[in-house]
Structure 1
Amino acid sequence: MASKKYTGLFGLLCLLASGSFAQIGGSYDVQDSSVIPSKRLPQHSEFMANNYPFPAKPRNRWEIGIKGGLGNVIGDVRSKFGWGAGLHVRKALGYVFSLRGDFNYLNTKGLNFQPSTNYTKNPAWNAYTNQQVFYNYKTNIYDASLQAVFTLNNIRFHRAKTGFNVYAFAGLGGTIFDTKIDALNSSGAAYDFSSIYAKYGPSGYQYKDRKDIRKDLKNILDGKYETEGQEDNGQAKLFGEPFRPNLNFGLGMQFKLSKTISLGIEDKVTLPKTDLLDGNQWQENGRTATAQTRDMDLYNFFSVGLNFAIGGSKSVEPLWWMNPLDYAYNEINKPRHMKLPKPVLDDADGDGVTDQFDNEPNTPAGAPVDSHGVSRDTDGDGVPDYKDKELITPTQCQPVDADGVGKCPPPACCDELREAMKNLTAKPACNVGSLPSVTFKGKSVTLSNDAKALLASAAQQIKSNPDCKIAVVGYCSTNKSEQQLSWDRVNAVITYLVEKEGISSDRFIFKYGEAGGECTTVDLRDGTNEQGPNTVPAPHPNLRRRG
Structure 2
Amino acid sequence: MASKRFTLLALLVVAAVSTGYSQLGGVLDYLDSTKVSSRNLPKYNEWKSNSKSNFFPPVPKAMGQLSINGGLFLVDGDCPSLPGWNIGVSYRKALGYTVSLRGGINYAQGKGLDYRDNGNLLNNSVLVSTYGSLPPSAAKYVHNYKTTVINPSLDLIINFNNIMFHRKSSKFAFYGLIGYSPMVYQTKMDVLNGSAAYNFGSLTNTFFNRPRKDVRNDPKNFFDGSYETFAQVNDRSQNFNQAGNDKFQWRHAFSTGLGTELRIASRMSLGFEFKYLWTRDDYVDGWFMNNGGLSPDKDGAIFTNLFVNFNL
Match of 1:99 in 2: 101
1:154 aligned to 2:162?
yes
Deviation readout 1:397-451 (Å, 9 max, x if unpaired): xxxxxxxxxxxxxxxxxxxxxxxxxxxxxxxxxxxxxxxxxxxxxxxxxxxxxxx
Give distance in 2, aligned partners of 1:208 and 1:196: 12
The whole-number CA distance in structure 2 between the counterparts of 1:300 and 1:62 is 26
Where does residue 247 of structure 1 map in the other structure? 254
1:238 Cα deviation from its structure 2 partner? 4.0
Report the equivalent of 1:15.
Answer: none
Letter in 2 for 1:167: Y
Change (3 A) 1:293 1:215: closer
Structure 2: how far apart are the matches of 1:243 and 1:109?
19
Contact 1:99/1:149, CA 8 A, preserved across alignment? yes
1:346 equivalent in structure 2? none
Report the 3-state secondary structure (helix = DSSP H, G, I; strand = E; otherwise coil) of the residue aligned with 1:219: helix
Q: CA RMSD in A?
A: 3.1
Query: Higher strand fraction: Structure 1 or Structure 2?
Result: 2
Q: 1:400 is matched with which residue? A: none
Superposition deviation, residue 90 in structure 1: 0.4
Picking from 162, 171, 175, the partner of 1:167 is 175
Question: Residue 253 of structure 2 aligns to which amino acid in structure 1?
Answer: N
Shift in alpha-carbon separation, 1:100–1:90, aligned structure 2, 3 A = same
Rounded to whole Å, the distance in 2 between the matches of 1:103 and 1:35 is: 39
Match of 2:197 in 1: 190
Residues 292 and 174 from structure 1, CA distance in 2 versus in 1: closer, same or farther, beyond 3 angstroms?
Answer: closer
State the 1:162 CA deviation. 5.3
Residue pairs, 1:388-537, within 5 angstroms: none
Corresponding residue for residue 140 of structure 2: 132
Give distance in 1, aligned partners of 2:248 and 2:179.
Answer: 22
CA contact 1:265–1:304 (8 Å) conserved in 2: yes
Moved over 4 A (4+): 45-48, 159-162
Distance 1:237 1:36, change over 3 A: farther
- Larger Rg, first or second structure (1 or 2): 1
Q: Which residue of 1 is the match for residue 189 of structure 2?
A: 181
CA distance in 2, matches of 1:101, 1:254: 17
Q: Distance in 1 between matches of 2:106 and 2:123?
A: 31
Aligned partner of 1:51 among 27, 42, 54: 54
Equivalent of 1:218, from 217, 220, 227? 220
1:145/1:211 CA distance change after superposition, 3 Å? closer
User: 1:133 and 1:140 mapped to 2: Cα distance?
Assistant: 22
| TM-score where L is the length of structure 2 | 0.76
Q: Relative to structure 1, is the Cα distance of residues 66 and 155 closer, same or farther in structure 2, using a 3 angstrom cutoff?
A: closer
Contact 1:70/1:83 (8 A) holds in 2: yes
8 Å Cα contact 2:27/2:60 also seen in 1: no
Shift in alpha-carbon separation, 1:99–1:35, aligned structure 2, 3 A: farther
How many residue pairs match? The answer is 266
Kindly state the Cα deviation for residue 105 of structure 1 after the two structures are TM-superposed: 1.3
Residue 208 of structure 1: how far off its partner (Å): 3.6
Partner residue, 2:27: 27
Report the secondary structure of 1:217's partner residue: helix
**Contact between 1:107 and 1:138, CA under 8 Å: does it hold in 2?**
yes
- State the 1:51 CA deviation: 2.4
Q: Distance in 1 between matches of 2:288 and 2:39?
A: 55
Cα distance per residue 1:232-259 (max 9 Å; x no partner): 1243224841001110011111111101
**Residue of structure 2 equivalent to 1:499:** none
Counterparts of 1:373-392 in structure 2, within 5 Å, are: none
CA distances 1:348-370 after superposition (whole Å, capped 9, x unpaired): xxxxxxxxxxxxxxxxxxxxxxx
| Identical-residue share of aligned pairs (%) | 34
Within 2, Cα distance between the matches of 1:35 and 1:69? 44
Distance (whole Å) between structure 2 residues aligned to residue 110 and residue 64 of structure 1: 33
CA contact 2:163–2:171 (8 Å) conserved in 1: no
What residue identity is the alignment partner of 1:74? D
- Range that drifts further, 138-147 or 115-124: 115-124
Stretches of structure 1 lacking an aligned partner (at least 5 in a row) = 1-24, 201-205, 311-547
Shift of 1:197: 4.2
* Counterpart in the other structure of 2:65: 63
Q: What's the offset of the Cα at 1:86?
A: 1.4
Q: 2:110·2:146 contact (CA, 8 Å) conserved in 1?
A: yes
Indicate the structure whose relative CO is greater, using CA pairs within 8 Å and at least 6 residues apart: 2
Q: TM-score, normalised by structure 1?
A: 0.45
Residue matched to 1:495 = none
1:268-312 Cα distance to aligned partner (Å, 9 max, x none)? 11112211110111122xxxx4x43242110101111210112xx
Kindly state the Cα deviation for residue 119 of structure 1 after the two structures are TM-superposed. 2.6
